[in-house]
Structure 1
Amino acid sequence: MRFKKSSPPPKKSHPGSSRNTDRPRPNPRETLEIDIEQLSHEVRGIARYRGKTLFVDNALPGEKVKARITASRAKFDEAVAIEILEPAAIRQTPPCPHAAECGGCSLQHMAPQAQIEAKQQILLDQLQRFGKAAPEEVLPPLTGPDLGYRSKARLGVRYVKPKSGGKPELVFGFREKGSNNLTDISQCLVLPEAFSALIPELKQLVERCNTRRHISHIEVAIGEDTTALVVRHLQPLTNEDRSLWLTFAQVHDLHLYFQPGEEAHKAWPEAGPERLAYALPEFGLTLQFHPQDFIQVNFGINRKMVHTAIELLDIQPKDRVLDLFCGLGNFTLPIATRAREVVGVEGILELTRRGQENATANGLANIQFQAADLTADFTRSPWARGGFDKILLDPPRTGALEVVRNIGHFNASRIVYVSCNPATLARDAAELIQRGYRLSKAGVMDMFPHTTHVESIALFERQ
């Protein structure tokens, strides 16, 4: 597959500015028949229409589709395919009945193998475009089940007046594609089947609550053997409503949390810590987390990812390892089972405390957890003294530009970079290469099947 970079949003025009008015402007309600040539880096179909690039949702390369224009920009237009006249071989019937409206999974019309191949090509294209680099070896994609994989989600709750009039009705689900409106769902196939089956009952429960209009969303967090619900409410719940939720949690063996403000508080069961858990069996570890902590939501791919990261780091018993953006210790603890010492650094103090809890619970004494601003120069911090042999980075979507400009100070032999955004990985790769590293290996991980998210892992080795 070939990919094309999306054009940046144009600058707003001002009165008196010059504009090209010769080209006819598309009618937003216009439908047209077009041939899809390739995929964009957002995994949308690309066509040419009236001399402009047209990005088409729900369209795949090689297809002829009937599309409706949804937006017109200065340099490109946007559309959605409303009928597939000639389908591509990689098109499949979406497994979820809500796929056409729900924005949770926007690639269900594309076969899973084609999805991961497209994401791999996006990674390689971005590395070449923004990093002027290509890995010496492309790693095999890390894949797993494409349904029932997700351990966390947030279900919106909203009352909406029907277009035909009448009383407002409860809408319970995820955001629509390209909209802040919610799609009303009866199931979610990327959540475990046991929880997906509870969605109709959850909706009925909300409707029975006296304070139903003040419930904004419900979060679900699923551990290895426990599922928790967090009910976010903007006004205090009545005693009757609390009783309804408690009964529901008890009947379905759920942990229940109420969140009236910034913090959620456990309501059921009353005894025991506010923790769920997931396991990393290869390393003999169990990590605990609060239902609202950031974790990797695909446990199967996470286990494969941790294994791959440890393998790429090639940790030796004498190594001192630095784990940046360490969270609650997802990589830190496994590294500690192989290395002499590991320092985990995170910007959120509460997660470093959680990491230390996990280290203690797993009997690991060769770990330091530190809270620090990773956008600042940390190379002279007390915990950085003595240097590091290997480094792991797992930054947010914005990447780790400031970090990679500083870590050359340590002269580590290997750096493993786990990324959720190939564009910022590519940008940071260029910095690492400039500082004497080579891009040895890189590959993608199917952490979020049926979505456009591209997760990847890369190994940089000192020249």
Structure 2
Amino acid sequence: MPVAIIESLDHEGRGVTHVDGKTVFVDGALPGEEVEYSVYRRKPSYELAQISRVLQASAQRVTPRCEYFGKCGGCSMQHLDPVAQAAVKQRVLEDALWHVGKVKAETILAAIHGPSWGYRYRARIGVRLVPKKGGILVGFHERRSSYIADMLNCEILPPHISNMLPKLRELIAGLSIPDRLPQIEIAVGDDITVLVFRNLLPLTATDEKRLADFSDAHGVQVWLQPKGPDSIYRLHPVEAPGLSYTLPEFGVTMDFRPTDFTQVNVEINRLLMRRSMQLLDPQPGERIADLFCGLGNFSLPIARSGAHVLGVEGSETLVRRAGENAARNGLQANSEFHAANLFEATEDSLAALGKLDKVLIDPPREGAIAVVKALSAAQLPPRIVYVSCNPATLARDAAVLVHEKGYRLKSAGIANMFPQTSHVESIALFERED
């Protein structure tokens, strides 16, 4: 079995080494370690492998808390100390900025840390009937597989959800269509937990009674989704409060539906909000655009500062939700929301927003390349704060802002939104001096 010394970690948390001119990516290996590994995929220029034995361990290696680590695909970095995880992610961000965008931040921001376990307030877990494994499985997919991991608990889900997994298996096994409920979407608010069951066939009256009893027994709301995300409806209890989360520092409460996009890590979202507002520094009277505004997560704290915020989002449903949240928080006077496809932004569509003092951009993984290219010479706000969930697209967009639009990358850093995984959330500040 081949032996190698691991040189670094890649953006997916895999150990990287070079053997006979080939790059080898080793799952589960850490920098500085001497390991035995076995190859599971060979390509002309690289190989994918998994660790077989650690011959010399890194001082940063820790014992994974979860018994399913290595098989379940939900986590990839439980073997690395959480503080070291953040350092690795910071390095991934800096490498992407330089190698993809040829830019460097003038200041590296301290990593934003939060809880390492039990943090995942949003999740989509799979359901599969597998008679050979005893019946119903409920959990995340196995690593490198479409199979559902055979798991009875999960360390990154809130404890009350983790403890519920075996009971969910029993519940679904007792329904009339156990093989036609492929997933459960979990949404946890400040005071309420919702389980959305994706049902491909109608449920019987007995099924609905079982679900209602489960709802009462475990203090959760049960919703059904017979078709697309917009088809969801509350099954039990019929009348009940909706989901919400708070941003106490800004005096804001956000209502949301179970399938709306919200950040999975509530504590990190609050800390990221504080950092973003510090960098943006909204002032009374300023006109600030919040692009890809969703249901108003960043918009309402901006509005609370006294600035006038213009939220733009592609989903009309989320635009409506943002307006409702502004009204709930008494912020409709200095906020407005518009539906527009920002992936097709043009100079004219951005100019239609009027003069902007500052801009906050919080795009999905695809980034905001159309937006940054559409910034015209007549409309270059002095300050842009960019919140990113993909270092590669942030780096690509940063290259346009710095090399074509005349901005300086003043600072950048990561927020460890998804501890135990390789996912990198980051924030960057761009400033332009006329």
Whether 2:295 is the aligned partner of 1:325: answer no
1:137-159, Cα deviation, whole Å (9 max, x unpaired)? 11000001100111011111112
1:283-340, Cα deviation, whole Å (9 max, x unpaired)? 1110000011000110100001111111101211121000000000000000001143
Question: What is the Cα deviation at residue 106 of structure 1?
Answer: 0.8
Q: TM-score, normalised by structure 1?
A: 0.90
Greater shift after overlay, 295-304 or 375-384?
A: 375-384
Whether 2:207 is the aligned partner of 1:241: answer yes
Question: What is the Cα deviation at residue 217 of structure 1?
Answer: 1.0
Shift of the 204–429 alpha-carbon distance from structure 1 to 2, 3 Å rule, reads same
The match for 2:162 is 196
Whether 2:316 is the aligned partner of 1:346: answer no
1:366-395, Cα deviation, whole Å (9 max, x unpaired)? 111100011223543498343110000001
Whether 2:269 is the aligned partner of 1:302: answer yes
Whether 2:382 is the aligned partner of 1:416: answer no
Question: What is the Cα deviation at residue 171 of structure 1?
Answer: 2.0
Letter aligned with residue 79 of structure 1: A
Q: 2:176 aligns to what SS in structure 1?
A: coil
Shift of the 195–305 alpha-carbon distance from structure 1 to 2, 3 Å rule, reads same
2:145 maps to which of 171, 175, 179: 179
Q: TM-score, normalised by structure 2?
A: 0.96
Greater shift after overlay, 35-44 or 366-375?
A: 35-44
Whether 2:361 is the aligned partner of 1:390: answer no
Whether 2:104 is the aligned partner of 1:134: answer yes
In structure 1, distance between residues paired with 2:119 and 2:339 = 31
Shift of the 385–47 alpha-carbon distance from structure 1 to 2, 3 Å rule, reads closer
Equivalences for 1:106-185 in 2 at 5 Å? 106-162=76-132, 169-185=135-151
1:28-68, Cα deviation, whole Å (9 max, x unpaired)? xxx42222122223221112223311110000011122211
In structure 2, distance between residues paired with 1:132 and 1:48 = 25
Whether 2:409 is the aligned partner of 1:442: answer no
The match for 1:314 is 281
The match for 1:55 is 25
Whether 2:331 is the aligned partner of 1:402: answer no
CA contact (8 A) 1:378 1:384 kept: no
Shift of the 270–161 alpha-carbon distance from structure 1 to 2, 3 Å rule, reads closer
Question: What is the Cα deviation at residue 193 of structure 1?
Answer: 0.9
The match for 2:10 is 40
The match for 2:220 is 254
The match for 1:377 is 345
Q: 1:286 aligns to what SS in structure 2?
A: strand
Letter aligned with residue 324 of structure 1: L
CA contact (8 A) 1:223 1:278 kept: yes
The match for 1:5 is none
CA contact (8 A) 2:135 2:173 kept: no
In structure 2, distance between residues paired with 1:264 and 1:185 = 27
Instruction: Flag structure 2 segments of 5+ consecutive residues without an equivalent.
Output: none
In structure 2, distance between residues paired with 1:350 and 1:270 = 22
2:249 maps to which of 282, 289, 306: 282
Question: What is the Cα deviation at residue 168 of structure 1?
Answer: 6.6
Whether 2:330 is the aligned partner of 1:360: answer no
CA contact (8 A) 1:211 1:238 kept: no
Pairwise CA RMSD: 1.5
Q: 1:172 aligns to what SS in structure 2?
A: strand
CA contact (8 A) 2:368 2:397 kept: yes
Shift of the 302–238 alpha-carbon distance from structure 1 to 2, 3 Å rule, reads same
In structure 2, distance between residues paired with 1:255 and 1:161 = 29
Letter aligned with residue 96 of structure 2: Q
1:455 maps to which of 422, 425, 432: 425
In structure 1, distance between residues paired with 2:347 and 2:273 = 26
The match for 2:399 is 430
The match for 1:28 is none
Question: What is the Cα deviation at residue 80 of structure 1?
Answer: 0.4
CA contact (8 A) 2:22 2:46 kept: yes
The match for 1:6 is none
Question: What is the Cα deviation at residue 265 of structure 1?
Answer: 0.9
Which of the two has higher C-alpha Rg? 1
The match for 1:22 is none
In structure 1, distance between residues paired with 2:263 and 2:88 = 22
